[in-house]
Every structure is written in structure tokens, then in C-alpha cells.
């Protein structure tokens, strides 16, 4: 049986810059971090030379007393005003075996932040508006003598035009292994700014897994790993949008963090040829269920979907369907939504005789009440289901169809090429790089 389209998911969940510009003269911090590898602390080694127009320390002219290393701050410019509160410090050093960055506010209090692998330092949270900060970069060579450079800058006044960032998921949730991370903006992000925004969107998965963000619209971006999340994965994602320029004089309103996990790997497969659903948990078949799919006039969609919502009791009301033959109002138990168009898994006691034999539904996956109740207690929002062999293909966008396309196609929706978001692994507890993306 197909529910009507009206049965939609009930979700719970500074002066402007004169023209388009990048946040810094150097591209922002590399977007994929490694779990357990290259811990990003306020220390980094660089060897880019003393390029750039910021303050630099070249050492003195006194023989052995002259430090071997040199350092320079390239952005923000010395004594810069109206700097976005999302700014990062970019720097370079030469002949250094260690480079450290320290940032303090006007009161002398240290600001927490991290150094990236590309000569950038990013604060852990948005800087205060209308505040002067001092950045100090110290490069130490193999002679043990430090070369230090210091620069001041002042952040812009709080902007009046701010964009709110929200997450569909919240702290403490446990979701299925096919659950995409969904982030929305309450105003469209121009194409030319999406890479800057994406670089501030970081996902950390334990155990580590490769993944990437994909823009599904100017106001929505989603993240999925290359394959389904591993069972019982811990996921933390952070959107450092506070004070970030987002085009047209608009700035991010605030940062956002979410901490959640996946449950066991429950994966459902429906085969139209056999009229059966196979349910696997952590790779092992735990049940095979007779089902009935959509009849020829109202076929079920073939493709990979995920459970969008779960309703123990609901009412399917299709009284607005243009075809009188498809109009009905029916009480339904153990409903699990798969598409926005109204395809569900649900109990259908009226079609038990057809289940495992022939298709009689309006597009839904019908099963007995006992089987539907059992399955309802096994699954979570985000658990994947693949339907195979029906007359109609699933349309991308009709539900959370992030898994209904190959990895290569999914990557094309990123504002940053995948190779730019995956630094070389060093030492990691897992063989795979972590799913972490400001890109």
C-alpha cells in the first residue's frame, strides 16, 4: 500500500565585504583529518620559505647567535581591521623542525585552536566580534634557537545579516548504518562560497572511514561514507560557520556540533523475483520474510533507500489521489517510510495470502503483522533497504537516496575534489582514513 504524498515525515530535529574574496590568501585548512593520525595541535612543521606579505623574522646578523629558522605570518595582514570572526592564521617557516602558533585576545588570554598541515591555524570556535587579537608564530630550527614573529588584527563588528545552520540529527542519537548526515542553511549558499563552507564542515568517525559531503541543493548538504557506516561507529561532526562569509554580505550565525553513533548493521534486501525480504544483522541472515510489492499499475521502486521515519500506528490517507481507484483511508501498523512519494514497509494482514507469491500493494512492502512487528523492533531510522527487480527505478531525491548512486557520482556533488580532502595517512589505529571533512 502506498501512503499519500501528504503523509510527509514529521521531523524532530561587521561590515560586509565589498567583493568576493577568499578567507585568506592561502586556501583553508585541508578538509579531511586522519583518525588517530597527525594530531592537529598548536604545533606544525613547515618548509614553505618566508613567502607572503605579513610580518616575518629573518634572524639577526650575528653569526652563531642568529637562529637558523625563519617565520612569517601571511594573514591576516598586520594591524588588519574588520577581519571576519571565522578567520584563520596562515603562516610559513623555513629551516624549522618545529613551528608553534599562539593567539591571545586583548586581555592576554590564550585562544584554543589547531594547526593544520598546510600552514594554517584555526580557532576551535568563533572569535569574539570587535576584538583585537595577537598572533605569535615561533619557528625553531635544528640549532634549537627560536625565531618569533608577532602580528595584531581586529575582528569586525557583529554582522546584521546572519545565516542559521541546523542539523537533522541531534546529540545522543543512535542511527542506522545507512544514515546520511544532513545539514541545512536557512539561506542559499552561492556556488562560489560552498568550498569555503565545506572546508569548515568536519566529520570524525571511530573507527575511521572514508567519506565526503555532497551538496543536494543550495541550502542542503549531506555526508555519507564510501560504504555503509561500520556497526557501532562513533560519529562527531562540527560545522564552524560562526562569522564565516557566505556571500552577499551574509555570515554564518554560529558553530554547530553533533555527537552520535550507529547501531548494529541491519541491512534489508527485497527481491521481487522471490517475493522475499532477507534481513541481515552484522553480516548474518537473521530472518527471511515473505512480502508482497506493488502491483503492475502501482509498482514499487527498485533501488537503495533508507528508513526515514518509523510509525507504530498511523493512517494512510490517499483521498487526494487523482485516480479514484487509488483512494483510501486505512489504519496502518508498524510503518517505516522509505520514500517521500509514499512507499513504506508496513503490516498488511489483508494480503497475507499473497505474500511470498504475488504483488498486490500500491507500492509498499507488505508483510504480516507478526513479521512487521518483529522488523520494526530490529530497525532504526537510517537502516538501508535495497529493492530489486521491479518495473520502476527509484528516482534520486525521492527520499534519502544517497546510496542510490555510485561513489564516483556521489563525489561529484562535493564543492571540493576528493583528492584535496584526503591527506596521506601517517600512523592510524585503522587502515582507513577517518571521515573528517571541512571539505
From first to last of its 439 residues, what are the pLDDT tens digits of the chain? Answer: 444 433 333 333 333 333 333 333 333 333 333 333 323 333 333 334 333 444 544 444 444 578 999 999 999 999 999 999 999 999 999 999 999 999 999 999 999 999 987 899 999 999 999 999 999 999 999 999 999 999 999 999 999 999 999 999 999 999 999 999 999 999 999 999 999 999 999 999 999 999 999 999 999 999 999 999 999 999 999 999 999 999 999 999 999 999 999 999 999 999 999 999 999 999 999 999 999 999 999 999 999 999 999 999 999 887 777 887 777 789 999 999 999 999 999 999 999 999 999 999 999 999 999 999 999 999 999 999 999 999 999 999 999 999 999 999 999 999 998 865 443 333 222 223 334 443 4
CB of 46 closer than 8 Å to CB of 74:
no
Give the per-residue pLDDT at 307. Answer: 98
Give the per-residue pLDDT at 420. Answer: 53
CATH class of 162-264+406-421: mainly beta
Give the per-residue pLDDT at 438. Answer: 38
Q: Which among 345, 365, 344, 343 is positioned nearest to 354, based on CA atoms?
A: 365
Q: Long-range contact list for 344-349, CB < 8 A, 24+ apart?
A: 344/1, 344/2, 344/3, 345/268, 345/307, 345/372, 345/375, 345/385, 346/1, 346/372, 347/371, 347/372, 347/373, 348/1, 348/292, 348/372
Q: Cβ–Cβ contacts within 10 Å for residue 329, how many?
A: 10
**Candidates 346, 384, 404, 415; catalytic one:** 346
Give the per-residue pLDDT at 55. Answer: 55
CB of 401 closer than 8 Å to CB of 8:
no
Give the per-residue pLDDT at 322. Answer: 80
**Candidates 103, 179, 364, 415; catalytic one:** 364
Is 45 annotated as catalytic?
A: no
CATH 2.60.40.3780 occupies which residues in the chain?
A: 48-155
Q: Which among 88, 58, 92 is positioned nearest to 74, based on CA atoms?
A: 92
Q: What is the CATH number of domain 266-393?
A: 2.40.440.10
Give the per-residue pLDDT at 116. Answer: 84
Q: What is the pTM of this model?
A: 0.80
CATH class of 48-155: mainly beta
CATH 2.60.40.3710 occupies which residues in the chain?
A: 162-264+406-421
Is 346 annotated as catalytic?
A: yes
Amino acid at each position: 500500500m502506498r501512503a499519500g504524498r501528504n503523509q510527509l515525515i514529521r521531523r524532530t530535529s561587521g561590515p560586509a565585504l565589498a567583493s568576493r574574496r577568499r578567507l585568506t590568501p592561502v586556501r583553508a585548512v585541508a578538509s579531511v583529518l586522519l583518525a588517530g593520525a597527525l594530531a592537529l595541535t598548536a604545533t606544525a612543521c613547515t618548509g614553505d620559505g618566508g613567502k607572503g606579505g605579513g610580518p616575518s623574522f629573518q634572524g639577526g646578523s650575528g653569526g652563531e647567535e642568529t637562529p637558523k629558522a625563519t617565520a612569517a605570518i601571511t594573514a591576516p595582514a598586520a594591524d588588519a581591521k574588520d577581519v571576519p570572526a571565522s578567520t584563520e592564521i596562515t603562516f610559513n617557516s623555513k629551516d624549522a623542525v618545529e613551528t608553534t602558533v599562539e593567539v591571545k585576545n586583548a586581555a592576554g588570554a590564550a585562544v584554543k585552536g589547531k594547526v593544520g598541515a598546510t600552514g594554517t591555524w584555526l580557532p576551535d570556535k568563533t572569535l569574539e566580534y570587535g576584538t583585537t587579537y595577537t598572533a605569535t608564530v615561533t619557528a625553531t630550527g635544528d640549532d634549537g634557537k627560536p625565531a618569533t614573529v608577532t602580528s595584531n588584527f581586529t575582528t569586525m563588528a557583529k554582522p546584521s545579516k546572519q545565516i542559521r545552520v541546523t542539523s537533522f540529527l541531534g546529540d545522543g542519537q543512535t542511527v542506522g548504518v545507512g544514515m546520511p548526515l544532513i545539514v541545512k542553511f536557512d539561506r542559499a549558499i552561492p556556488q562560489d562560497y560552498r568550498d569555503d563552507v565545506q572546508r569548515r564542515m568536519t566529520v570524525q568517525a571511530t573507527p575511521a572511514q572514508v567519506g565526503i559531503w555532497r551538496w543536494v541543493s543550495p541550502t542542503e548538504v549531506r555526508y555519507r561514507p564510501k560504504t555503509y557506516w561500520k556497526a557501532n561507529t562513533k560519529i562527531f561532526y562540527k560545522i564552524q560557520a560562526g562569522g564565516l562569509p557566505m556571500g552577499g554580505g551574509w555570515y554564518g550565525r554560529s558553530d554547530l556540533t553533533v555527537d552520535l553513533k550507529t547501531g548494529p548493521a541491519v541491512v534489508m534486501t527485497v527481491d521481487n523475483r522471490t517475493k522475499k525480504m532477507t534481513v541481515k544483522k552484522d553480516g548474518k541472515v537473521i530472518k527471511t520474510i515473505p512480502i508482497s510489492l506493488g502491483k503492475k499499475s502501482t509498482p514499487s521502486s527498485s533501488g537503495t533507500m533508507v528508513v526515514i521515519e518509523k510509525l507504530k500506528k498511523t493512517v494512510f490517507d490517499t483521498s487526494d489521489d487523482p485516480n479514484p481507484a487509488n483512494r483510501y483511508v486505512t489504519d496502518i501498523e508498524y510503518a517505516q517510510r522509505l520514500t517521500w512519494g509514499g512507499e513504506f514497509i508496513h503490516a498488511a494482514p489483508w494480503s497475507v495470502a499473497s505474500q511470498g507469491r504475488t504483488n498486490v500493494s500500491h507500492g509498499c512492502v507488505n508483510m504480516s503483522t507478526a513479521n512487521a512487528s518483529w522488523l520494526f523492533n530490529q530497525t532504526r531510522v537510517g537502516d538501508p533497504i535495497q529493492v530489486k527487480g521491479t518495473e520502476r527505478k527509484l528516482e534520486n531525491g525521492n527520499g534519502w537516496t544517497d546510496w542510490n548512486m555510485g561513489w564516483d557520482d556521489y563525489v561529484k556533488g562535493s564543492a571540493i575534489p576528493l583528492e584535496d580532502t584526503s591527506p596521506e595517512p601517517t600512523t592510524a589505529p585503522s587502515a582507513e582514513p577517518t571521515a573528517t571533512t571541512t571539505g
